[in-house]
Copies of this chain bind each other. A is one copy, B any other.
Amino acid sequence: MSLVVQKYGGSSVADADAIRRVAKRVAETRQAGHDVVVTVSAMGDTTDELIDLSNEVSGREHPREMDILLTAGERISMALLAMAVRDLGVGAQSFTGPQAGVITSGAYGRARIIDVAPGRLRQTLDDGDVAIVAGFQGLNQETQDVQTLGRGGSDTTAVALAAALEADVCEIYTDVDGVFSADPRVVPSARKLDVITYEEMLDMAASGAKVLMPRCVEYARRFNVPIHVRSSFSGLTGTMVVGHPEGTEGEETMEQPIIAGVAHDVSEAKITVIGVPDIPGSAARLFEAVATADVNIDMIVQNVSATHTGVTDISFTLPTAQVAAARAALEADHEAIGFRELVVDDTIGKISLIGAGMRSSSGVSAKFFSALRDAGINIEMISTSDIRISVVTRAELVDDAVRAVHTAFGLDSTQGEAVVYGGTGR
Task: Please give the residue numbers on chain A whose beta carbons come within 8 Å of chain B beta carbons, in ascending order.
Answer: 15-16, 19-20, 50, 53-54, 56-58, 60, 62, 64-66, 68-69, 71-73, 75-76, 78-80, 82-84, 86-87, 93-94, 96, 99, 120, 144-145
Contact = CB atoms under 8 A, between A and B. Distances in A.
Task: Please list the 9 inter-chain residue pairs (A to B) with the smallest Cβ-Cβ separation, ordered nearest first.
Answer: A69-B79, A16-B56, A58-B83, A72-B72, A68-B79, A72-B75, A62-B83, A65-B79, A65-B82
A68 B53 CA distance: 21
Contact of A58 (B56, B60, B78, B84): B84
Contacts of A80: 53-54, 57-58, 65, 69
A64 B92 CA distance: 11
B65 A87 contact: no
Given A53-B80, A62-B86, A65-B93, 11 more contacts: A20-B57, A50-B76, A54-B80, A57-B80, A65-B80, A65-B94, A68-B79, A68-B94, A68-B96, A72-B73, A120-B144
A335 to B, nearest CB: 36
Contacts of A94: 65, 68
Nearest to A76: B72
Contact of A68 (B56, B73, B78): B78
A83 B70 CA distance: 13
Contacts of A72: 72-73, 75-76, 79
A93 B64 contact: yes
Contact of A83 (B60, B78, B145): B60
B65 A83 contact: yes
Nearest to A18: B57
B57 A83 contact: yes
Describe A's contact surface by its main secondary structure.
helix
Contacts of A68: 75, 78-79, 82, 94, 96
B83 A54 contact: yes
A71 B53 CA distance: 18
Contacts of A86: 58, 60, 62, 65
A120 B144 CA distance: 10
Contacts of A76: 50, 53, 69, 72
Contacts of A69: 75-76, 79-80, 83
A45 to B, nearest CB: 14
A20 B78 CA distance: 30
Contact of A57 (B65, B84, B120): B84
Contacts of A82: 62, 65, 68
Contacts of A50: 76
A83 B72 CA distance: 16
Nearest to A96: B68
Contacts of A62: 82-83, 86
A75 B75 CA distance: 10
Nearest to A70: B79
Nearest to A69: B79
B99 A87 contact: no
Given A65-B83, A68-B78, A57 B93 contact: no
A245 to B, nearest CB: 40
Nearest to A75: B72
Contacts of A65: 79-80, 82-83, 86, 93-94
